[in-house]
Structure 1
Amino acid sequence: MSEITGYHAHVYFDADTQDLAQHICEEAARLFPVQMGRMHARPVGPHPRWSCQLGFAADAFDQVIPWLMFNRQGLTIFTHAETGDHLADHRDHALWMGELLDLDLSIFDKA
């Protein structure tokens, strides 16, 4: 098994839910040792919707994930491990809260 060095939770939103997503992300960063990324008002990387990344250490998982489960207010959240294998992390080492979406994993293809 690969070593998990941390996690990324991607909170998905659209124009109608952007304020809600920002509030949830800011609250998570206030309550926990979470690094809040930018609010991307367009799809970025493999993500099919607008999103904000929450980065946190492996030892914060048991605090952050339950909080997100109960406070996501209907937003979809994609969470993946950070092991250094980006394809496997996004494809095989992931959790979904809400709607399951198709990621564009082709960006991880090896040349």
Structure 2
Amino acid sequence: MPEDIAAIRGYHAHVYYDADSKPAAAALREAIEARFDIRMGRWHDRPVGPHPRWSYQVAFEPPLFAEIVPWLALNRGDLVIFIHPETGDDLPDHRDRALWLGDYLELNLDALR
């Protein structure tokens, strides 16, 4: 039986970077903050939780999805972005319901178990 999209309370986009790409990640972050009504997470200059690279989080409401995700696709440059819904069920949200902009990276799913 299909799941109801009303279960999606929000989305997280995780922008991955490293020491060399941090300036590009900073420029993207500034552009996101200037354009969208979002909640920005902290910079993590190390892998945190299930995320295999350094990252920061962009949290946004479902109505913004149709605008921000295409914008990120066009403006991410060489950065990898991982996007997942927030339904309250972290493991499937990260493992089964996610989108990738750029390369697919293996998540540390044990961090969600």
Cα offsets for 1:12-65 (capped at 9, x unmatched): 000001011011022112201111111111001100000010000001001110
Residue 29 of structure 1 is matched in structure 2 by 33
User: Which segments of 5 or more consecutive residues in structure 1 lack a partner in the other structure?
Assistant: none
- Provide runs of 4+ in structure 1 moved above 6 Å: none
Give the alignment of 1:49-88 within 5 angstroms.
Answer: 49-88=53-92
Tell me, in whole angstroms, the C-alpha distance in 2 between the residues paired with 1:68 and 1:52: 14
Higher strand share: 1
2:50 partner SS: coil
Residue 21 of structure 2 is matched in structure 1 by 17
1:45 has 2:55 as partner: no
Tell me, in whole angstroms, the C-alpha distance in 1 between the residues paired with 2:23 and 2:88: 32
Q: Percent identity?
A: 51
User: Which segments of 5 or more consecutive residues in structure 2 lack a partner in the other structure?
Assistant: none
Q: Figure out how many residues of one structure are paired with residues of the other and give that number.
A: 109
Query: Over aligned residues, Cα RMSD in angstroms?
Result: 0.9
